[in-house]
């Protein structure tokens, strides 16, 4: 019995080898893992469940096969796929989680988050995040014709890439104050998140923060069994 946590895979149609790697990863771990948690940014761009591309169809098939096999799948929204909805979840057998979720497994209790809300020094992004997560904003966005939504999403990606060039690395990381406040508010000693692409395990006086890595140069996942947590990397080739 094992539990697997991943995030920031950033699947896209222009990286077919990454899709193949993701398929092999899910097939391999779903045979042993009882639960697989995807903590956001499964896709590099998602603009609605009605965007039925070849990539989305393939990923749905991969995840449905795993859920049909008995593995429980969970998903938290990231900053790239916050419009992923109930339609996708129903088609794959995944359960959509809130932005903050307490998981209990094998005697371990952990707070799961994507992690973007903890980057409180990035004021411009936090403004966008508050707007984009507003239910009314999402409802209006998803009413826009798909072709126009694709153009909007492409502009978001261009703006995000350009904005990162002008920001210090520290601004795009979580703040310890936000981490501490969030962990204390949940009375929790372990926080697991992604988003920052800085895989590591941080120890504080108030608890432990485990950061998942992105699947760019290496693949990353957090493995939990009776021996505890183990942050692992693997080749994407």
- Domain parsing of the chain, residue ranges: 2-235
The encoded tokens of residue 216 equal 């760019």
**What pLDDT score was predicted for residue 129?**
95
* Predicted pLDDT at 1: 83
Per-residue pLDDT tens digits of the chain, which is 237 residues long: 899 999 999 999 999 999 999 999 999 999 899 999 999 999 999 999 999 999 999 999 999 999 999 999 999 999 999 999 999 999 999 999 999 999 999 999 999 999 999 999 999 999 999 999 999 999 999 999 999 999 998 888 888 778 777 778 878 899 999 999 999 999 999 999 999 999 999 999 999 999 999 999 999 999 999 999 999 999 997
Q: Rounded distance, CA 155 to CA 152, Å?
A: 5
Architecture of domain 2-235: 4-Layer Sandwich (3.60)
Of the candidates 102, 97, 93, 60, the residue with the CA atom closest to the CA atom of residue 76: 97
- Given this model, what pLDDT does residue 80 score? 93
In this structure, how many other beta carbons lie within 10 angstroms of the beta carbon of residue 63? 26
Say if residues 236 and 217 touch (Cβ distance below 8 Å). yes
Phi, psi of 66, rounded to the nearest 5 degrees:
-65, -45
Cα angle vertex 63, ends 5, 94, to 5°? 70
**Residue that is written with structure tokens 């002008």 in the block:** 166
Is residue 195 classed as helix, strand or coil in its secondary structure? Answer: coil
Phi, psi of 177 (to 5 degrees): -60, -45
User: So what's the pLDDT on residue 160?
Assistant: 78
In the block, residue with structure tokens 């929790």: 188
pTM of the model: 0.96
- Specify the pLDDT at position 157: 81
Smallest CA-to-CA distance from 90 within 75, 79, 101 is with 75
For residue 212, give the H/E element and its range: none
**How many angstroms from the chain centroid is the CA of residue 51?**
19
The angle at the Cα of 180, spanning 176 to 183, to the nearest 5 degrees, equals: 135
């Amino acid at each position: 019995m094992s539990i697997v946590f991943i995030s920031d895979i950033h699947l896209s149609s222009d990286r077919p080898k990454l899709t193949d790697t993701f398929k092999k990863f899910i097939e391999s771990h779903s045979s042993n893992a009882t639960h697989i948690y995807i903590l956001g940014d499964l896709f590099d761009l998602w603009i609605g469940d009605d965007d039925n591309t070849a990539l989305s169809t393939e990923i749905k098939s991969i995840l449905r096969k795993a859920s049909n096999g008995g593995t429980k799948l969970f998903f938290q929204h990231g900053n790239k796929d916050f419009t992923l909805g109930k339609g996708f979840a129903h088609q794959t057998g995944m359960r959509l989680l809130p932005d903050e979720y307490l998981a209990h497994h094998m005697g371990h209790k952990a707070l799961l988050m994507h992690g973007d809300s903890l980057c409180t020094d990035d004021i411009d992004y936090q403004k966008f995040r508050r707007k984009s997560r507003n239910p009314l904003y999402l409802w209006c966005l998803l009413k826009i014709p798909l072709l126009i939504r694709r153009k909007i999403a492409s502009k978001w990606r261009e703006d995000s890439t350009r904005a990162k060039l002008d920001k210090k690395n520290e601004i795009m990381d979580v703040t310890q104050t936000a981490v501490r406040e969030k962990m204390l508010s949940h009375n929790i000693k372990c926080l697991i998140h992604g988003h920052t692409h800085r895989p590591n395990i941080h120890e504080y006086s108030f608890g432990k923060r485990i950061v998942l890595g992105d699947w760019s140069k290496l693949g990353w996942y957090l493995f939990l069994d009776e021996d505890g947590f183990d942050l692992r990397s693997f080749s994407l080739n």
